[in-house]
Structures are given as C-alpha cells and as structure tokens.
Chain A
Amino acid sequence: MNVIELNQLTKYYGKSRGIEQVTLDVKEGEIFGFIGPNGAGKSTTIRTMLGLLYPDSGTAKIFGKDCFMSGPEIRQEIGYLPSEVFYYDKMKVIDLLNYTAGFFKNKNSKVKMRELAEIMELDLKKRIEDLSYGNKKKVGIVQGLMHSPKLIVLDEPTSGLDPLMQQKFFDIIKKENQNGASVFFSSHILAEVQSLCNRVAIIKDGQIIKVDDIKSMREDNYKKVTLKGNQIPSDQFINLQGVTNIHHVDRELKFFYKGDINQLTHLVSQNSLKDVLIEEPTLEEIFMHYYR
C-alpha cells in the first residue's frame, strides 16, 4: 500500500516556479529520501502535502485520502518536523506539549512525550523563548513524534542538532520505522539519506528527475572508474559508450561508466596503466551527476 501518492502535483508562486508535475509514491513502512539543493522544490512539495499550500494542479493523497479534502483526518497520523522551528515563545515547553497532545486522539501521547523528552534531554519547565536553537529543535522532535504517527515527514530535520543528538534522533526515527511508521525524509545532506533511506527521489528545478532504490542507484547503474598512468589514451575511454562525468587531471582519468563492464575491462587490458579503481559511486557523486 502507498502511504503517499503525489500525481502531477504543480504549484506556482505567481509566475515563479514552485514544483512542476511532481509524481511519486511512498510505500508503507519505507524510509523515503527526498533530495535536492535549496530552492529545488522540496519544501513546496512537503507544504503542499500538509495542506499549507494549495496546488495549482495535480493531486496529493496520503493514506489513500485527498490531502485537502481530508486534511485534519490525515494529519491525525502525521508527525511533521520542519527545518526551522517556531513555537509560542511565552509558553513553557510542557504547556506547549500538553497543548499539542490536546490535538491528538492518541491517549498515550503524554507518556511518549516524557519518554522522548528524556531521551533528547529536554528541560520541560523552561520557557520556549529561553531555549537555544538546538533545544527548540528538540521540542520539534517531541511534538512531532509524541502521538506515534504512521507517517513522519522530516524537512531537513538535523540542522541545529549536535552530532550526538543527530545520532539519537536517527535512532528514534529508525525505531519508529521498525514499529511501523513510514518516513518521508527531505534533505540535502546525502550521507544522512544514504545511511537511513530505502528509496530516494531527486528533485531539480521543481521536477522529479529520478526515483530509485538507493541500492540500485549505487550498484546497478554507475561505476566510478579511476585510471592512473603516464600515458592514458583518454580519447579511447571518452568515446566508449556509457562514459560520463569525465575528469582528466595530469596522470589521472576519472569517469562514470554505465554499460557493458567487459568492454571497459577489455579497453583497460589493452593499455599500460599504473592503477585501476572501479568502485561504487557515493550518493553525493550520483547526485552531482544528475545535477550537471
């Protein structure tokens, strides 16, 4: 079953582009990565899914229900953590979290709130305005997860968290996922996506340019090839079908290769080289490849 189904979702801000014909689906139980640089349309997609923005065309469904017709019902089971968090400054953390619990039907929210606050080392008695940015972010995590949502939507969630807290946060997300929650994880930090997600969509200039398994994206398609030698016949390699992203510096030739590996090894064997490296590209390198 699909938890999220976006179909041809389009949103313009006046004349400027937000997202164009975004189509993707997230399956139940998976951690879905959504990557792209700032301004690519990640937040616009998420905000449209959550009913903060109204699309110009296309449909957005969560749990099989329309995001705009059944917004409140859907959001009963969504936990959202934005990149920038803002809460009512004059409130105490505990009051804000109790207020939050009041919106949800889940009766265990308050118990889980205490558990999460303890894990995140969050002082519930402080006023929001007295919290550091990192601590406000912790409030965000607690208020987003306290009702044990079936879908967790994260929009660049780790900014402002120190590495130790980031790790704790990822552990919590993994645990929620093991307990059945699906996760939609938007980020431009590829290492995070790589370590956490099952599938990933890449968005560029408001359009989805690739949706694939992280594994197949890394393994099946591209190999990163590095050749070292005094006289590399670069033309021969560059002309090989399936070679892209060529970097030729001094005695080193680097490129991505997607094609028959025997052709490549045949060519390699015909030349005198000092070293050959054929490796899996990192997600970052794949990402840069799509962004050229």
Chain B
Amino acid sequence: MLNILKYELKLHLKSLIIWGISLVILAALLMLFYPTFGDDVALVDKMLENYPKELLQAFGMGGQLSLATVPGYFSFVFVFLQLMLAIQASNYGFSILSVEERELTADYLMTKPVSRSEIYISKFLASVIIMILSSGIAIVASLISIEAFRNGHPYDQERMVLLLLTLLPLSLLFLSLSLFISTLLKKVKSVLSLSLGLCFGLYIVNSVQTIVGGKWVSGLIPFHYFEPNYILENGELNTNYFMMYFIIVVVSIVVSYKTYLTKDIHSV
C-alpha cells in the first residue's frame, strides 16, 4: 500500500506546487484591493446601498458586516479561495481512479499483488494529504496577506482562523463527491471540464439560491455549509448543516469504494 501512496504523492507533487503558488498569489491579490475599501467606509457603504439587496446577497455581501471592514471584505472574497480549492480537490477526485482506465494502465496496476481496496485507500489518502497541504498553504497565505494589507483595520483573528480552517472540510467534500461521480460514470473523458462544471455549477446554484431562497435547496449546496458571513458574524460553524455534510461525504466514499471494488476492468 505504501508503494502506491508514495507513487501517488510523487505524482501530485508538481500539481501541489502549481496550486500552492496560485493560492499564494490569489490570497495576496484578494487582499491587495482591501485598502481601497477599508479607507473610505462611508463611501463604500453608501455605494452598496444603491444595489438591490438580492444582488448583494448573491455575491456574498448580504451579511451584517460592512464591506469596508476586514471580516466583511474577506467574507466577500473568501469564495474565490473556496472555489479554487474545490476545483483542485475535484480534479483529484475525478482523476485518481479514472486515470488508470483512461490511460489504460489499470491492467498493469491491478494485476500486481494489491487489492482494489488498497489501491482505493492509497489513492484517496494521497489526495487527502495533498489537500491538507494545499489548504494549509491557503490558510497561512491568507493570514499573512490580511496582516499585510489590513492597514490597521481591526479583525477577530480567532474567527478568521476558524473560517479559513473550513477550507479543508470543503475540499474533502469536493474530493469525495467527485470521486463518487467518477465511479458512477462509464468513462471520465475530461477531468477538468467535469471539475469546473461541478464547482462552478454548485457555486451558481448557491448564488441563485441566496436570491430566490428555498431552505431545502441550501442543504444540498456545499458552499452553504461554510458560509463566511455566518462564521465571521457568529464565531462558530452553522451546525444545521453538519448532518448533511457527513451524509454527503460518507455516502460518497462508501458508494465509490463499493463500486470500485466490484467494477469490471475491460480490455483495450
């Protein structure tokens, strides 16, 4: 098992470096624009008053927090970090098992003395490790860039850390969900289009839901489980969604695992 784990980690190393650098740049860029908002509170608030409330909500600015404050601004830009990590995690989820069939290397791997269970666990574990590292990079980079660009404006560091820590469970959810979808599909032709489709699709549904409403729909949208306004305003996670989160993750993992274990691997 260790053999596959080591191989997978080595394989993902290059992608981790690229995603890591991108996350650092993104975190810096997002906060780079904060001083423009933070230094003119009255103007920003007045400007936003002119927009319909639904539109502001759709873009994550519907909370009590003013866009001119550090938490208010960060809860608005936080979704870009969420999206980025969700896409990275989905890329792994859609590819780790399907790549062996797509590139026809499944014959090689599965005729070696390893069980499918070991293959699944090793590959999943490697992706989890990479996502822990990626989320860690995003968290540290965000905290540094907040400190660097907040221009003396105050914020609650504990709440901010709590919010940033939710990037990891969100990544794990997208990893499991995409892995689940990949094992249900007959063939995964393009990993990137599937992961972009899943992440942006759910993001758009999330935005539409905030305008249109519908509480039961919100329970099905992962972005909603880690809503930044709620966390920064209340200093805690929204426990209403815990159950839904665990159901999605556990069902995804269990079903994809079972499907993979009994799947026929066809010849070329």
Contacts and interface: CB of A to CB of B under 8 A. Distances in A.
Interface of A: 13, 43, 47, 50-54, 71-76, 78, 80, 82, 84-89, 99-100, 102-104, 143
A85 B109 CA distance: 12
B105 A47 contact: no
Contacts of A143: 108
B18 to A, nearest CB: 15
A74 to B, nearest CB: 8
A108 to B, nearest CB: 16
B45 interface: no
Contact of A71 (B104, B115, B267): B115
Contacts of A51: 110-111
Contact of A72 (B115, B267, B268): B115
A78 B113 CA distance: 9
Nearest to A48: B264
A72 B265 contact: no
A44 to B, nearest CB: 8
Nearest to B262: A54
A52 B265 contact: yes
B267 A47 contact: yes
B33 interface: no
B103 A89 contact: yes
Given A72-B113, A78-B111, A103-B112, A86 B265 contact: no
Nearest to B263: A54
Nearest to B265: A52
Interface in B79-125: 103-108, 110-115, 118
A82 B113 contact: no
Contacts of B111: 50-52, 75, 78, 80
B239 interface: no
A114 to B, nearest CB: 20
Q: Which 3 A-B pairs have the closest CB atoms?
A: A86-B104, A102-B3, A76-B113
A74 B83 CA distance: 45
Interface string B104-148: 111110111111001000000000000000000000000000000
Contact of B264 (A54, A87, A89): A54
B168 to A, nearest CB: 29
B105 A87 contact: yes
A53 B264 contact: yes
B7 interface: yes
Contacts of B104: 84, 86
Nearest to B7: A99
B169 to A, nearest CB: 32
Contacts of B264: 13, 52-54
A99 B112 CA distance: 11
A87 B108 contact: yes
22 contacts: A51-B110, A52-B264, A54-B262, A71-B115, A72-B113, A75-B112, A75-B113, A75-B114, A78-B111, A80-B107, A80-B111, A82-B107, A84-B104, A85-B108, A86-B268, A87-B105, A88-B103, A88-B105, A89-B103, A99-B7, A103-B113, A143-B108
Contact of B107 (A13, A71, A86, A89): A86
B114 A103 contact: yes
Contact of A86 (B105, B118, B262): B105
Most chain A CB atoms below 10 A, which of B104, B107, B115, B268 = B107
A103 B110 CA distance: 11
A119 B266 CA distance: 32
B183 to A, nearest CB: 15
Contact of A52 (B3, B110, B115): B110
Contacts of A47: 265, 267
Nearest to A52: B265
